[in-house]
Amino acid sequence: MKTKEISSLLKWHPDFFSGGQKALLAILLSAFLVSFAKAEDLLLVANKGDQTLSIINPTTGEQLAAVPEDGITGHEVVASADGKLAFVPIYGNSGVGHAGTDGDLIRVIDLETHAIVGTVNFGKGVRPHCAVVGPKNKLIYVTTELDNCIAIVDPKILQVVGSIPTGQAESHMLAISSDGKTGYTANVGPGTVSVLDMKAGKVLKIIPISKTTQRICISRDDKWVFTADQTKPQLAVIDTGKNEVARWIELPGTGYGSTTSPDGRWLLVALNTINKVGIIDLQTMKVAHLIDVPKSPQEILVRPDSQVAYVSCDASKQVAVIDLKEFKVEKLINAGRGADGLAWATSK
């Protein structure tokens, strides 16, 4: 309902309110309805240590539920396209490239009932990790490290319906272009990025980055892909037109998780060795702001309106909420042990 429509409702008794009171009340009612409409937005946090998924009201910071994953353990999470379900790949109890259990499941959690309502079973240990919803077809693409592949999951039938080879080991994280045609994986141990033809299901190119690389994201205009060098405090900038490293962004500490704001203005990167978040101006490709956050920042998610960023902080069991107008932490939200993967769910 628009402010103009609300104002018309106030004419039911023309003498009851003054003109100024009517205008003020219309604004307040409009703001209330906007906040009410957004009340169904949820912040999801994968807690590695607790083996739970936190479901959080992002406005109040209240944890509505901590849903046991019934598996060891989920590092990442993605919400379904309709915002009703969360998909949590059960990776295992180790870090990438290290010995440990090999997860073989994806748990499906209903965000209204706070219960597991389904499971995708790979039938063998594949260490499923990063899940991304296809921007066009709404299928779910999941990195499966031990298969050197991206698994394709149909969320309607909860089955694996295909796969895309990455041509590299330890394909840990995935980013997909906005048209859904091209994928990019950060291959940790090899220190490379695989460029994938998502429709043809094949590798287009392997781009060398460093001895070790971590995490990956793509700019909103699809021109740049970013991944963090783990041997030096720098971020690789890949030109997607040429599929090669075009330049490096110097950082004050080693980078980790990164993301771009929906408005295309900022690139945010977690600097987990110095407990800060770097905010990079995408026009200059330089760090414009540094913000202190709790220990061991992992992943960053920017709210759809580009006004607020959420930063999972592994060691503190918290999510830092950053105001992207004032460039400061406005509050801390309690999550769980090993807070890592983040997702935003909007019911449609």
Residue type, position 258, single letter? S
pTM of the model: 0.88
pLDDT at res. 2 = 36
At residue 18 the predicted structure's pLDDT band, cuts being 50, 70 and 90, is: low
> Contact at 8 Å (CB) between 251 and 214?
no
pLDDT at res. 40 = 82
What pLDDT, in 10s, does the model give residues 56-107? 999 999 999 999 999 999 999 999 999 999 999 999 999 999 999 999 999 9
Which residues does 77 contact at the CB level (< 8 Å), separation at least 6? Answer: 44, 45, 46, 53, 86, 87, 88, 131, 341, 342, 343
Which residue segments constitute the domains of the chain, with CATH numbers given?
44-253 (2.130.10.10)
What pLDDT, in 10s, does the model give residues 199-224? 999 999 999 999 999 999 999 999 99
CA–CA dist 121, 9 (Å, integer)? 54
> Contact at 8 Å (CB) between 345 and 41?
yes
CA–CA dist 11, 210 (Å, integer)? 67
> Contact at 8 Å (CB) between 236 and 217?
no
What pLDDT, in 10s, does the model give residues 270-302? 999 999 999 999 999 999 999 999 999 999 999
